[in-house]
Amino acid sequence: MSSSLSPLAIRPAQEADVAAIFGMIHELAVFEKLEHMMIARESMLRDSLFGQHPACEALVGTQDGEVVTFALFFHNFSTFLCRKGLYLEDLYVKQSVRGNGYGKQMLVALAQLAVERDCGRFEWSVLDWNENAINFYKGMGADVMPDWRICRVAGDALTQLSAGTPKPA
């Protein structure tokens, strides 16, 4: 870590952090070349994190009071373990502070949270072209599951499936 940087402070996200988190979600979409798929609005994120029925949680990492990283997560469930798990949807570190160990610190904080909550596992997905992230995650002890693929139904295909008329492949 550079001597000019103050330490990263990790804490649960607060409603006042929504704008900063949303800005980083947009940066992440651009980085992943998926900006065209981002239809989210800041108000939707606020409701998902702090509404009457929150769908997810977030940790933020701050440096000198500025949010520079976030991790958005939720609980899933393993039928084989018969225990909940912690699923990391997105972890992002601002470009300007990368290389200072903040991603590692966020993963450690999430792993600690998973252990505190008695989760059977902690998991996430990574794009197959993101070799830097894959190597980073392997270095943190993660197994990249080569035999598993994500299946997704969204948009019109979801509407058609819900009506019992799945869209042909």
Beta bridge partners, 75, equal: 86
The string of pLDDT tens digits covering residues 83-139 is 999 999 999 999 999 999 999 999 999 999 999 999 999 999 998 999 999 999 999
Residue 68 CB-density burial (10 A; 0-12 exposed, 13-18 middle, 19+ buried): buried
| pLDDT beyond 70 at 2 | no
CATH assignment of 9-124, given 3.40.630.30, 3.40.50.10680, 3.30.390.10, 3.90.1150.10? 3.40.630.30
Averaged pLDDT for residues 164-168: 85
Q: How confident is the model at residue 1 (pLDDT cuts 50, 70, 90)?
A: very low
The angle formed by the CA atoms of residues 149, 152 and 155, to the nearest 5 degrees, is 160
Residue 120 CB-density burial (10 A; 0-12 exposed, 13-18 middle, 19+ buried): middle
DSSP letter at 128? T
146 φ/ψ angles, rounded to the nearest 5 degrees: -70, -20
Tell me the whole-structure pTM to 2 decimals: 0.92
The string of pLDDT tens digits covering residues 28-82 is 999 999 999 999 999 999 999 999 999 999 999 999 999 999 999 999 999 999 9
Encode burial over 32-61: b for 16+ CB neighbours within 10 A, e otherwise.
eeeeeeeeeeeeebbebbeeeeeeebbbbb
